[in-house]
Amino acid sequence: MSRKAEYTDKAMAPEAVVSAIRERLGDAVEVVELKDRKAGSNDAVCFHDLWLRCPKDKFLELLDILFELDFPLFHVMSGNDEGEAVLLNYHFSLFQGSGRGSRLGVAVSVYLPKDDLAMPSIQDRIPGAEYSEREMREMLGINFMGMPDESLVFLPEDWDERVKPWRRDEAGPKPEQIRELS
């Protein structure tokens, strides 16, 4: 994907973004919610958040669509061990350089089954995702295929890498490894 690394000054309406995604990916990507975010003394709608759910194999395609609209600012990845699967949320922003009130937050949820905890790395497209990918790898045990640096980022040097601190199953920390603060 070659997009010039700059933020567009032409914002699109959130509904237009939704239809651009629908047009290309149809029902594969589920639009969970388009939130109006209000503030101020008139309770005016100031910006929008778009929550999407995407199957793993369509994720890069979805990211390419976002790249056609603007260079997406990658905020962070959040995640959780949901039992059968691990949930990964990618948080992006579109149109944050396009004018007052034009930003559209785009959160993409991907569920990864426990027997295949792998995602394609997006560092070739967005190098700024490096720390998040490394963090999710060490905390939740997700393998990002093609990431250049797989070393630990926040955990200590002598950490037992089999222990994934944010997992809630047998891969997570044992009760005796957690010190309760008094």
Partner 1 sequence: MAVGEAKTYKIPIGPVHVGLKEPITTWLEVDGERIVDIKVRPGAIHRGIEFMARERNPIQVIYLAERICGICSFAHIESFVRAVEDAASISVPKRAQYIRTIMLELERVHSHILWAGVACYTFGYDSAFNLGLLLREKVMDVLEAMSGNRVNYGVGTIGGVRRDITPEVAAALEDLIDYYRREFAAFYEVATEDPITKARMRHVGTLPPEDAVRYCAVGPTARASGLRVDLRWSSPYEAYADIEVTPIVPQDYMGEVYGDVFDRFLVRVLEVYQSLDIIEKALLGLPKGPLMAEPKLPKLLALLKAADGVGWSSIEAPRGDDAHVIKLTKGDENVTWWKVRAPTYANIVSWPIMFRGQEIADAPLIVNSIDPCISCMERALVVDKKSGSSEVLTKEELLKRSREKTRRLMGR
* Interface with partner 1 (CB under 8 A): 4-7, 35, 37-44, 46-47, 49, 51, 71, 73-80, 89, 91, 93, 95-103, 105, 107, 126-132, 139, 152-156, 165-166, 173, 176-179, 181-182
Closest approach, Cβ 115 to partner 1, in A, equals 22
Which of 72, 71, 139, 136 lies closest to 110 in space, CA to CA?
Answer: 136
DSSP state of 121: -
Nearer to partner 1, 35 or 56 (CB): 35
Closest approach, Cβ 25 to partner 1, in A, equals 22
Closest approach, Cβ 5 to partner 1, in A, equals 4
Q: What is the Cα–Cα distance from 111 to 126, expressed in whole angstroms?
A: 21
CA geometry: angle 103, 19, 119, nearest 5 deg = 75
Query: Using an 8 Å Cβ cutoff, are 139 and 166 in contact?
Result: yes
Nearer to partner 1, 117 or 130 (CB): 130
